[in-house]
Copies of this chain bind each other. A is one copy, B any other.
Amino acid sequence: MYLGSWLSRLSRGLSRPIGKITQPVWGSLSRSLSLGAQRIPEFSSFVARTNTCGELRSSHLGQEVTLCGWIQYRRQNTFLVLRDCHGLVQIIIPQDESAASVKKILCEAPLESVVKVTGTVISRPPGQENLKMPTGEIEIRVKTAELLNACKKLPFEIKDFMKKTEALRLQYRYLDLRSFQMQYNLRLRSQIVMRMREYLCNLHGFVDVETPTLFKRTPGGAKEFLVPSREPGKFYSLPQSPQQFKQLLMVGGLDRYFQVARCYRDEGSRPDRQPEFTQIDIEMSFVDQTGIQRLIEGLLQYSWPDDKDPVEIPFPSMTFAEALATYGTDKPDIRFGMKIVDISDVFRNTEIRFLQDALAKPQGTVKAICVPEGAYLRKQDIVFIRDFATHHFSQEVLPVFLNAKRNWSSPFAKFIMEEERLELTRLMEIQEEDMVLLTAGEHEKACSLLGKLRLQCADLLEMRGVVLRDPALFSFLWVVDFPLFVTKEESPTELESAHHPFTAPNPSDIHLLYTEPEKVRGQHYDLVLNGSEIGGGSIRIHDAQLQRYILATLLKEDVKLLSHLLQALDYGAPPHGGIALGLDRLLCLVTGAPSIRDVIAFPKSYRGHDLMSSAPDSVPPEELKPYHIQVTWPADSEEENAAATPSENLSS
C-alpha cells in the first residue's frame, strides 16, 4: 500500500536518504532530540494548537485536541495524514451529513495545504494499528476543520525531492526544509550548539562575547570579502575568524571567551565550502595545550547527540610527523588500518629499476600500504589508482598481490626476491586476498601519495562491498607538534606560518628560532574526526618582542596592520591559547550528510549563489555612489564568459 510504504520509509528517516540516519523517526524527533534527563520543552505553548501531531499516543486517548499542520496524504476522502514539525497523525474525515462543511474542507484542500482541526484522540480499530508509525495506535475523530492556507500546485511532489537535483532543492529551499532529513539536521544542530553553550557558560564560566564582523583587513587577507564604506577608498573587511579579537579579549582580562562565530572566506567557487560559515570559537587565559584539549574533549562528550554512542575521552594523539609517516596526511582517518610502512631496507638490493633509482638518492625511500582484501578490486580500479599516481604525483605505483596458493600473482613478482617477499609479508602482515601498493621516492611525497591512495582504495573497496569505515563510529584524533613554519612553495627560501603567525613555538625549540626556524615546532593542535579536520588551535604568543621578531624578521609581514595587537601584548597580556571548531563540518559528520549544505538552512551553491533569491545581484549605479565605487566591466570576451555561466540555476 502506498501510504504504508511512504509512512514507513518516512518513519525510518528514509524519505530522502541524504544522510545515513536510521534511528530517529518523525514522530519521536522532538523526544529523541530533547536533552537527556532534562525536561521536554513545551512545543505547544503560546499557539493555536493543544498538541503536536507527532506526540500523540495511546496515553492521549479521549482527549480533545487542536492540531495545526500540512496535509501530507489523503485516501479516498476517508482519512488524511496531517504533518507538523514533530511528526504525522492520521485524521478520520467525518462522513455524516451534519459534518458536510468539515468534510468539504478536508477533501478539497490540495496536498500541502495548512489546516487546523479539532477532534478527539481515539484508538484505531483492532488490526489497523501501524506499528511503524509512532502515532500508529491512534487516530483523530475530527469535529471542526479550518483551512488556514491553501497550497498551489507545487513545482514537484515533496516526497519526490530525492529525485531532484540539489539546485532545485536550493531554489525551493523552503519546501526542501519540510523534509524529515532537513528538519532533523537543523534541529540537531540547534541542540548540539545549545549543549555546547551549557557546557561552556554554565559549567565552566565562559563568557559569550560577540565580536565585530566589519573589521580591518589582515595581512595576507586576500580571501577576505570587502565592504565599501561611505568614506572614499576606505573599506571594511569581513574577517575569516575572530582571531585578533579573541586575543585582545584575553589582554582585556575576559579570561574565558567563546562565541558561535560567523566567519567569512572568499575562495571563489569551491565545492563543499561556503562563503560564510560558523565556528565554535574559544580562547582561555593561563592555559596550556593539554588544558584546551581536555576542555574540548569534555565539550564534545557533553554535547554529543543522545542517539549516538557516547564519545570516549581522552582522544588519542599523534604527532604531525607520525601522521604523515603512517597515514600520509595531517588528518588521518583512524577508523581503519592500511598504515604506510617504510620498506626501504627490504629493497636495498632490489633489481627493480625505479626502486633502485629512488633508493640511490639521499632522501630516497620505498613505502607501501597493504590493502586488505585488495584482491576484490577490479582491473579498472587498479588502472585508476596507477593513473592517479602518475597524474597527480608523477609517481610510479606497484600493485603487488599475494595469493597463498599461487604465491605472487603480480607480474612484478618475478623481480621480487624470495627473502624480500618473506620480509615484506612479515613487516606488513600480508594476508591472503590482500594487495600491497608500493611506491618509492622522497619521504614526504611517497607518504602523501600513499595517504591519498589509502583513501581511494577505501572508497573503491566500499563500492565493491568491503566496508572499512563504520559510519556509526566517530574516531577523534589530536594531531600535534606541527612545524611552526613551512617554506613558501613559490619561493623556497622564504618562510610562512604553517598555522597562523600568532602560534607560539614549542618552548624547547625556541633557541632554534634564531638559527634553524624551519625546525621549530609550534604549540598548535588540530582535531580530526574520521579523516576530516574539524578544529584547530594553538597556544598564542603573548610576548610582544617575540611576536614582532616572527612577524617582521622571519615572515617579513607589514607589522603596521597589526600594530594594535603588538601594542596590546606589551600591556600585560596573559599567556593564552584557544581553538576553533568548524561547526558545519562537525554537523555534517555527525548527521552523515553528504555535504555541509545539508546542515545549513540557506546555503550558497558551490559558486557562491543563493539560488532561491538570486544573490549576488546587480545594483543600480546610483546605489554604488554613496560608497564611492564603480564597476570595472571586464573586456567583452571575459564578460561573455561571465554571462555564459549562470546555468547552475537549474541544470547543474
Report A's interface with B, CB cutoff 8 A. Answer: 30, 35, 38-39, 41-43, 45-49, 68, 70, 83-85, 112-114, 116, 148-152, 154, 172-178, 182-183, 186-187, 189-191, 193-194, 197, 201-217, 222, 225-238, 244-245, 248-249, 251-256, 262, 264, 266, 268, 275-276, 278, 284-288, 291-292, 294-295, 542-544, 564, 568-575, 600-602, 604, 608, 610, 612-619, 623-625, 627-634, 638-639, 642
Report Cα–Cα, A245/B68, bound state, in Å.
22
CB distance from A171 to the nearest CB of B (A): 8
Residue of B nearest to A110 (CB): B572
Instruction: Say yes or no: B291 contacts A46, CB within 8 Å.
Output: yes
Can you give 9 A-B contacts (C-beta < 8 A)?
A41-B203, A113-B572, A173-B248, A173-B252, A210-B262, A245-B601, A625-B632, A629-B630, A630-B630
Q: Which residue of B lies closest to A258 (CB)?
A: B190
Q: Is the CB of A232 within 8 A of B628?
A: no
User: Contact between B85 and A253 (Cβ–Cβ < 8 Å)?
Assistant: yes
CB distance A234 to B571 under 8 Å? no
Residue of B nearest to A607 (CB): B231
A262: B residues at CB distance < 8 A: 210, 213, 262
Q: Is the CB of A613 within 8 A of B216?
A: yes
Q: Are B227 and A149 in contact (CB under 8 A)?
A: no
Closest CB in chain B relative to A652 CB, distance in Å:
16
Please determine whether B178 and A253 come into contact, CB atoms closer than 8 angstroms: yes
- Given the known A-B contacts A294-B46, A634-B232, are A201 and B41 also in contact in the complex, defined by CB atoms under 8 Å? yes
Q: Is the CB of B573 within 8 A of A149?
A: yes
Residue on B nearest A261 in the bound complex, by CB: B262
Bound Cα distance A148, B253 (Å): 14
Q: Tell me the smallest distance from the CB of A247 to a CB of chain B, in Å.
A: 9
Selected from B175, B193, B629, the residue in CB contact (under 8 A) with A208 is B193
A573–B569 Cα distance when bound, in Å, is: 54
CA distance A585 to B122 in the complex (A): 50
Bound complex: CA of A612 vs CA of B571, how far in Å? 14
B631 and A232 contact, CB distance less than 8 A: yes
Closest B-chain residue to A111, C-beta based? B572
Given A235-B617, A286-B48, A617-B235, residue A572 in contact with residue B149 (CB < 8 A): yes
Which residues of B lie under 8 Å from residue A249 when comparing CB positions?
Answer: 174, 177, 601
CB-based contact B564/A213 at 8 Å: no
Closest Cβ–Cβ distance, residue A473 to chain B (whole Å): 27
Given contacts A236-B615, A601-B245, contact A628 B623 (CB under 8 A): no
Known contacts A30-B205, A213-B213; can you find 17 more A-B pairs with CB under 8 A? A45-B204, A114-B575, A148-B575, A149-B569, A174-B249, A194-B201, A210-B600, A212-B276, A212-B604, A212-B610, A232-B632, A233-B619, A234-B617, A234-B618, A235-B619, A245-B601, A564-B613
Residues from chain B with Cβ under 8 Å of A253 in the complex = 70, 83-85, 177-178, 183
Q: Kindly state the separation between the CA atoms of A183 and B255 in the bound complex, as whole angstroms.
A: 10
8 Å CB contact of A46 from B197, B287, B543: B287
Q: How far is the CA of A285 from the CA of B623 in the complex (A)?
A: 36
Pair A616/B235 contact, Cβ less than 8 Å: yes
**In chain B, what residue has the closest Cβ to A645?**
B231
Kindly name the residue among A35, A288, A608, A613 whose own CB sees the greatest number of chain B CB atoms within 10 A: A613
Complex: how many Å from CA A39 to CA B194? 17
Docked pose: A182 CA to B45 CA in angstroms: 37
Query: What residues of B have a CB within 8 angstroms of the CB of A601 in the complex?
Result: 209-211, 245, 249, 252
In the complex, A213→B276 CA distance in Å?
8
Chain B contacts for A116, CB-based, 8 A: 286
Q: Collect the chain B residues with CB atoms within 8 Å of residue A632's CB.
A: 232, 625, 628-630
Task: Report the bound CA distance from A529 to B614 in whole Å.
Answer: 39
| Given A201-B194, A235-B616, residue A604 in contact with residue B251 (CB < 8 A) | no
Q: Is the CB of A216 within 8 A of B617?
A: yes
Q: How far, in whole Å, are A480 and B55 apart by their CA atoms in the complex?
A: 35
Task: Please give the distance in Å from A586's CB to the nearest CB on chain B.
Answer: 14
Q: Could you tell me the distance in whole angstroms from the C-beta of A306 to the nearest C-beta in chain B?
A: 14
- Contact flag A39-B232 (CB < 8 Å), given A286-B116, A571-B112: no
A222 vs B234: C-alpha distance in the bound complex, in angstroms? 19
CB proximity of A245 to chain B, nearest CB, Å: 6
Q: How far is the CA of A543 from the CA of B150 in the complex (A)?
A: 9
Residues in B neighbouring A204, C-beta threshold 8 A: 41-43, 45-46
Compute how far the CA of A228 lies from the CA of B43 in the bound complex, rounded to whole angstroms: 41
Residues of chain B contacted by A633 (CB below 8 angstroms): 232-233, 628
Residues of B with C-beta under 8 A to A233 = 618-619, 631, 633
- Judge whether B629 and A266 touch: CB under 8 Å: no
Indicate if the CB atoms of A234 and B186 lie closer than 8 Å.
no
In the complex, are the beta carbons of A602 and B571 less than 8 A apart?
Answer: no
